[in-house]
Amino acid sequence: MELVDDEYLDEELTDETETERQARLDTEVELDELTAEFVAMLVDKLMVVVDTLSGHPLYHYQRPFARRLIESVIIGDGATITALFSRQSGKSETVANVVAALMIMLPVLARIYPDLLGHFKEGLWVGAFAPVDDQADTLFSRIVSRLTSERAVEIMAEPEINDALKGKGRTVTLRSGSLVRRQTCHPRAIIEGRTYHLILIDECQGADDRMVNKSIAPMGASTNATMVFTGTPSYEKGVFYKAIQLNKRLASRRGARCNHFEADWKAAAKANPRYGKYVKKEILRVGEDSDEFKLSFRLMWLLEKGMFTTREVLDSLGDKSMEAVKYWHQTPVVVGIDPARKQDSTIVTVVWVDWDRPDEFGMYEHRILNWLDLEGMDWESQYYRITEFLSNYNIFAIGIDVGGVGDAVASRLKVLMPRANIVELGSMAGDQSKRWKHLNQLLERRMIGWPAHAKTRRLRTYRRFVQQMEDLQVEFKGPNMMAEAPNETGAFDDYADSLALACVLTQETQMPVMEVANNPFY
């Protein structure tokens, strides 16, 4: 299980803007003592209905997840609940049982408790999503199976409930108005505008960020819908991973509700011995350390296989005793400039190099001294801002990607900085691969670092650098290693590009060596 260290948790909470802090306070739901007791009693009663519908009680590791789902829908806190369960351990089964019980019971309870549940008087509206239609059908069919079971028919036939199945197809409707609709969240799908009280996304590790955030989440805007993300780990970060990490961070706050739930194969095996025997056979068949087993049963995110680096590596390389260095003339430094393209920022990264102590492979230790982020600034202003910034350092070489507008930037800086050694670096696949591989080697050998002092961690430049490095995805195209930001809104790789451009200079060029000799004429 991936954990985030406490110091980082505290930093994340203290670094929020005033607008974010106010938004968090405005959306938190705090219940008085009597209401909290009543909600807990109501959850208990509904859990009895859940067990009755399923025909057997939920397992111990499923119950906290089920209770939180019910509570969120009742109090209307609009939570995003994440459940990371091992394969075939019953995550979809838990969701199906809870949803079926809520669809039947909430319209009835809305008549009895109109102040708390009156918005369900016309039924509970549920959207069941998954990356592809077949996956969506898995969760949807389980919900329908519960609603059409003999136990469900008996419960709905009770005089106090008096409900029944009204329609069946891609949308299943009850006479009370409750409905569940099957939809895909494939990025190419055209999703009609719907309104839901509860949004379910199964196999969420494969869901498209943009589709979830832009098209699906707004379907719960008018109802402050609860969203439930279920799935297993993957090779890359996405909306599921980010939601899990956010829930872990928020759970560290005093009095916060837990919105993330995990159950690996060992937790499931304690409740179901047959499941344990199956998984142990898988250990013999594929191996406990195989990617398949780690992803499916051990709940391990294999980010290093699809990501350029990981949060753990980034945290370990940050020097918490070092602040950003604004002036440095003692030794020559290298600089990388990634010119802005459209919505990107122009990023300048200054890197100190330990020229005197190369390792046995001729690689030097690198350390970022400072960053310059020129966002939303016209090019004429950028040129002079760059030269002003770099005048504070003893520069050995400046690397610029000459693809796109880079050649014009290099030409202009050669005029403005005639004494600087400006190196024009190509943007072909082979050129890019060379610098990404070099940066990757520096990370693996722990021969690179950056300032991570508490004051530095509050800077926008630091936060953007860490976020972009963490988001960077890697792809191999033949022999070439390519790294880039994920194809989603708000994801960029300018800081990583700038760093790679600076570091490759220590491989491309050699630091001049000064020889000392006696003067024969003196």
What is the dotted CATH code of the domain comprising 311-508?
A: 3.30.420.240
Q: How confident is the model at residue 88 (pLDDT cuts 50, 70, 90)?
A: very high
Retrieve residue 404's tokens: 């796109």
Q: In sequence order, what DSSP letters do the residues of 336-403 get, joined into one string?
A: EEE---TT--EEEEEEEE-TT---TTSPPPEEEEEEEEE-S--HHHHHHHHHHHHTTEEEEEEEEE-T
Q: How confident is the model at residue 342 (pLDDT cuts 50, 70, 90)?
A: low
Rounded Cα distance between 307 and 305, Å, is: 6
Q: How confident is the model at residue 304 (pLDDT cuts 50, 70, 90)?
A: low
Give the length of the chain. 522
Do the Cβ atoms of 108 and 64 come closer than 8 Å? no
Above 90 in pLDDT, residue 325?
A: yes
Rounded Cα distance between 218 and 295, Å, is: 30
Rounded Cα distance between 385 and 389, Å, is: 6
Q: What is the pLDDT of residue 513?
A: 53
Retrieve residue 397's tokens: 């070489």
Q: What is the pLDDT of residues 225-278, one digit of tens each?
A: 999 999 999 888 789 988 998 888 777 666 788 999 999 999 999 999 999 999
Q: How confident is the model at residue 475 (pLDDT cuts 50, 70, 90)?
A: confident
Beta-sheet strands, E only, within 185-291: 198-201, 226-231, 260-263
Mean pLDDT computed over 501-519:
69
SS3 of residue 230 by DSSP:
strand
Do 6-272 and 311-508 agree at the fold level? no
Q: What is the pLDDT of residue 56?
A: 87
Q: What is the pLDDT of residue 80?
A: 95
Per-residue b or e along 287-299, where b marks 16 or more CB atoms closer than 10 Å to that residue's CB: eeeeeebbbbbbb
Mean pLDDT computed over 345-355:
94
Architecture of the domain whose range is 6-272 = 3-Layer(aba) Sandwich (3.40)
Q: How confident is the model at residue 324 (pLDDT cuts 50, 70, 90)?
A: very high
Above 90 in pLDDT, residue 144?
A: yes
Q: How many CB atoms lie within 10 A of CB 34?
A: 8
The CA distances from residue 439 to 42, 186, 361, 434, 442, in Å, are 56, 34, 15, 9, 5
Q: How confident is the model at residue 4 (pLDDT cuts 50, 70, 90)?
A: very low
Amino acid at 145: S
Q: What is the pLDDT of residues 207-240, one digit of tens each?
A: 988 899 889 999 999 999 999 999 999 888 789 9
Above 90 in pLDDT, residue 305?
A: no
Mean pLDDT computed over 123-148:
92
The CA distances from residue 235 to 4, 194, 436, 473, in Å, are 18, 32, 19, 10
Q: How confident is the model at residue 307 (pLDDT cuts 50, 70, 90)?
A: confident
Retrieve residue 257's tokens: 């509700």
Query: Of the candidates 183, 108, 186, 174, which has an alpha carbon nearest to the alpha carbon of residue 146?
Result: 174
Which letter does DSSP use for residue 195 in this model?
-
In SS3 terms, 476-507 reads as EECCEEEEECCCCCCCCCHHHHHHHHHHCHHH
Q: What is the pLDDT of residue 32?
A: 78
For the chain, give percent helix, strand, coil, nearest 5. 45, 20, 35
Rounded Cα distance between 505 and 364, Å, is: 11
Do the Cβ atoms of 335 and 418 come closer than 8 Å? no
Q: In sequence order, what DSSP letters do the residues of 308-321 get, joined into one string?
A: S--HHHHHHHEETT
Query: Of the candidates 234, 104, 112, which has an alpha carbon nearest to the alpha carbon of residue 164?
Result: 104
When mean pLDDT is compared across 138-142, 166-170, 232-236, the lowest value belongs to 166-170
Query: Of the candidates 198, 248, 215, which has an alpha carbon nearest to the alpha carbon of residue 79?
Result: 198
Mean pLDDT computed over 2-12:
36
Angle at 280 between CA 279 and CA 281, to 5 degrees: 90
- Higher-confidence residue of 99 and 460: namely 99
* Helices 91-112 & 63-75 angle (0-180, nearest 10): 30
Mean pLDDT computed over 469-489:
83
Q: How confident is the model at residue 16 (pLDDT cuts 50, 70, 90)?
A: low
Q: What is the pLDDT of residue 467?
A: 84
Task: Sketch the domain layout of the chain as residue ranges.
Answer: 6-272, 311-508
Tell me the pLDDT of the chain averaged across its residues.
87
Q: What is the pTM of this model?
A: 0.64
